[in-house]
């Protein structure tokens, strides 16, 4: 059975300016963006990284600045944060409840890297047409079991349990 839901817009935050930076010291751009509108208006989709009290991706800090990292670079094996914050909690053990094949490692490097599905990697905005907003999981399992009701697109049984499915899932 599917449940019909209406979109709850009262938690949407509007912002007229978003500062976007990445690890390149030459790239710093101020862009007009609408925050939490389910569209990536900035290069790394930072405008969709903090919505309805939930974080999608992580923020890294070093002594000079804080920067946003989208979900597809988390657990990628690279050093995207100077303190490797993006690589913490990435080991898959017999106690890991949910795991998947890492999309970026598989598609961009041909590497089969199994990673845990973490609360901050679930149901992030995905735009495959962009080279900066890939999903976290190759099989899109990161687009299930959404905490934010505003990101739910439907419901279905997954592995014997009723679950939410993100509206960004393209399966």
pLDDT one-digit tens code per residue, 129-171: 776 678 999 999 999 999 999 999 999 999 899 999 999 875 4
CA atoms in the 13 A half-sphere facing the CB of 52: 18
How crowded is the C-beta side of 72, counted as CA atoms within 13 Å?
Answer: 22
Q: For residues 169 and 38, what is the distance between their CA atoms, to the nearest angstrom?
A: 12
Residue of higher predicted confidence among 23 and 110: 110
Q: Which three-class secondary structure state does DSSP give residue 88?
A: coil
Average pLDDT over residues 65-76: 92
Length of the chain counted residue by residue: 171
pTM as predicted: 0.77
CB 60 within 8 A of CB 85: yes
């Amino acid at each position: 059975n599917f449940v019909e839901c209406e979109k709850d817009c009262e938690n949407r935050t509007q912002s007229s300016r978003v500062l976007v930076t990445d690890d390149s010291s030459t790239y710093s751009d101020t862009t007009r963006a609408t925050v939490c509108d389910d569209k990536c208006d900035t290069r790394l989709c930072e405008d969709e990284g903090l919505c309805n009290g939930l974080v999608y991706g992580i923020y890294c800090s070093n002594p000079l600045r804080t920067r946003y990292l989208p979900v597809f670079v988390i657990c990628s094996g690279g050093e995207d944060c100077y303190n490797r914050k993006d690589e913490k909690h990435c080991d898959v053990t017999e106690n890991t409840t949910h795991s998947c094949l890492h999309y970026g490692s598989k598609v961009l490097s041909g590497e089969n890297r199994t990673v845990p599905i973490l609360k901050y990697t679930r149901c992030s905005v995905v735009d495959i047409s962009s080279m900066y907003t890939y999903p976290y999981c190759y099989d899109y399992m990161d687009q299930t079991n959404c905490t934010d009701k505003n990101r739910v697109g439907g419901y279905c049984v997954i592995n014997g349990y009723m679950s939410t499915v993100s509206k960004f899932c393209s399966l």
